[in-house]
């Protein structure tokens, strides 16, 4: 299935419920953060997180990310790839190999 079909499915789902009215960019941003908190709950006490719960919560984070991207007129995978190019410059392999250090401390 292509991105355009996923977007169409999401748009129809929201239109059927008249939920687009709640989907300001700010509300979608808050929603990404709310769902990221629920995803984090899967790992709250350490140990291996339950894959079923992780999948459910990851779905919610991704859905709001996709709705936000659509709201802003962006394609999610383009957004990922574009940022990756910037990250490439900040973290050249020879300086960052095997390190989790933030670029401003490299």
Q: Which of 8, 11, 33, 106: binder of a second copy (CB under 8 A)? A: 33
> What minimum distance in Å lies between the beta carbon of 80 and a second copy?
5
DSSP assignment of the chain, as one string?
--HHHHHHHHHHHHHHHT-GGG--HHHHHHHHHHHHHHHHHTTTT-S---HHHHHHHHHHHHHHHHHHHHHHT--HHHHHHHHHHHHHHHS-HHHHTT----GGG-
The count of C-alpha atoms lying within 13 angstroms of the C-alpha of 20, restricted to the half-sphere facing its C-beta, is 9
Q: Which of 4, 8, 11, 31: binder of a second copy (CB under 8 A)? A: 31
Q: Which of 4, 89, 98, 105: binder of a second copy (CB under 8 A)? A: 98
> What minimum distance in Å lies between the beta carbon of 33 and a second copy?
4
Residues that bind a second copy (CB under 8 A): 1, 3, 6, 9-10, 13, 16-19, 21-22, 24-27, 29-46, 48-49, 51, 54-56, 58-63, 65-66, 68-69, 72, 74, 76-77, 79-84, 86-88, 91, 93, 96-98, 100
């Amino acid at each position: 299935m292509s991105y355009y079909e996923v977007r169409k499915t999401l748009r129809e789902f929201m239109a059927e419920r008249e939920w687009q009215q709640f989907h300001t960019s700010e509300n979608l941003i808050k929603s990404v953060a709310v769902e990221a908190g629920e995803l984090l709950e899967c790992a709250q006490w350490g140990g291996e997180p339950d894959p079923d719960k992780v999948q459910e919560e990851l779905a919610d984070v991704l859905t709001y990310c996709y709705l936000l991207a659509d709201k802003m007129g962006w394609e999610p995978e383009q957004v990922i790839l574009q940022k990756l190019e910037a990250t490439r410059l900040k973290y050249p392999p020879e300086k960052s190999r095997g390190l989790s250090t933030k670029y401003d401390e490299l």
